[in-house]
């Protein structure tokens, strides 16, 4: 199969480490550093890690038009190839899951493995309710209220109830400060993504990591991915939508362990 033509890699990107390639697709309203920061060094111990920042995240300028899933997927692959990686694994978190799935479907000859965490093949009724609220809060500019909403929705019950009132205030301030400017466009794209037709055609070994206390992406969506992607394995982690906050080392070990099993 001939390789699909790639666009010029224009998104800001993070590159570190050495070894086999691993491309990272971050979550909506975040960035490579925001999503993978606590485990980046651990991933880079074994891999050449390349992560892109979507428009309105990190140093990538905000888009003036609606985002397209194919564009994000192609930019993810183009960034890895621009860094000298002909083949590589993909890790997609939340919105990054559909980005990684679409990249694997469009560029199957380049993808050695796929890891999908806290993610979705399409929006269900819960997301149909949650995403417009997220988008409108982001558009309002009220970062404090947005941080309250995101913290309530994203932290698992165990983590949320284990912190003190002072720690909760600190978490809210940290969340408010880290909101990406492009969050409205990210949330709007999440409301449109549908990669269900891609799933049966994924050829790379796939691990689906289900965040079992997740109020954003339900375990039903995680199981749908694992049940539809041929040969996919399902692993569970007892967190809400933020494994990088709640159980970062456990999350990293799931990713690196699976990649090692498949020499990816």
Domain ranges of the chain: 13-125+183-261
Summarize pLDDT for 118-146 with one digit per residue, the tens: 999 999 999 999 999 999 999 999 999 99
Q: Quote the pLDDT of residue 65.
A: 96
Tokens of 67: 């985002």
Rounded distance between C-alpha atoms, residue 258 and residue 249, angstroms:
14
pLDDT in tens, 149-194: 999 999 999 999 999 999 999 999 999 999 999 999 999 999 999 9
Residue corresponding to tokens 């400060």 = 177
**1: pLDDT strictly greater than 80:** no
Confidence at 98, pLDDT banded by 50, 70, 90: very high
CA pair distance 140, 146, nearest whole angstrom: 9
CATH architecture of 13-125+183-261: 3-Layer(aba) Sandwich (3.40)
Query: Once rounded to an integer, what is the mean pLDDT over residues 91-107?
Result: 98
Comparing CA positions, the residue from 158, 134, 167 lying closest to residue 30 is 134
Give the total residue count for the chain.
264
Closest CA to 182 of 95, 79, 80, 77: 95
Residue range 24-52: mean pLDDT, rounded: 97
Task: Give 66-72's long-range contacts (Cβ < 8 A, gap of 24+).
Answer: 66/185, 66/188, 66/189, 67/185, 67/186, 67/188, 67/189, 68/189, 69/98, 69/99, 69/102, 69/189, 69/192, 69/193, 69/195, 70/102, 70/106, 71/7, 72/25, 72/99, 72/102, 72/189
Predicted confidence (pLDDT) at residue 2 exceeds the cutoff of 70: no
pLDDT at res. 262: 96
How confident is the model over 214-223, as pLDDT tens digits? 999 999 999 9
- With 80 as the cut, is the pLDDT of residue 3 above it? no
pTM, 2 dp: 0.97
Backbone angles phi, psi at 194, to 5 degrees: -155, 105
Mean pLDDT for the stretch of residues 69-82: 98
């Amino acid at each position: 199969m001939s390789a699909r033509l790639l666009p010029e890699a224009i998104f800001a990107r993070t590159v570190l480490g050495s070894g086999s390639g691993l491309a990272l697709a971050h979550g909506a309203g975040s960035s490579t550093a925001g999503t993978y920061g606590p485990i980046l060094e651990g991933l880079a111990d074994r891999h050449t890690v390349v992560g892109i920042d979507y428009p309105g995240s990190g140093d990538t300028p905000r888009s003036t038009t609606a985002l397209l899933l194919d564009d994000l997927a192609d930019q993810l692959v183009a960034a890895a190839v621009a860094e000298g990686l002909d083949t590589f694994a993909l890790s997609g978190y939340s919105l990054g899951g559909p980005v990684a799935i679409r990249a694997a479907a469009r560029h199957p000859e380049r993808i050695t493995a796929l890891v999908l965490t806290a993610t979705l093949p399409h929006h269900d009724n819960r997301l149909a309710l949650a995403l417009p609220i997220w988008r409108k809060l982001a558009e309002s500019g009220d970062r404090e209220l947005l941080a309250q909403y995101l913290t309530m929705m994203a932290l698992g019950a165990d983590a949320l109830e284990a912190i003190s009132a002072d720690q909760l205030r600190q978490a809210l301030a940290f969340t408010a400060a880290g909101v990406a400017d492009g969050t409205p466009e990210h949330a709007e794209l999440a409301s449109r993504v549908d990669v269900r037709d891609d799933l049966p055609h994924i050829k790379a070994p796939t691990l689906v990591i289900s965040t079992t206390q997740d109020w954003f992406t339900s375990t039903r969506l995680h199981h749908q991915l694992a049940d539809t992607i041929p040969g996919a394995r399902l692993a569970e982690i007892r967190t809400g939508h933020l494994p990088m906050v709640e159980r970062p080392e456990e999350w990293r070990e799931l990713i690196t362990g699976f990649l090692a099993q498949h020499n990816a």
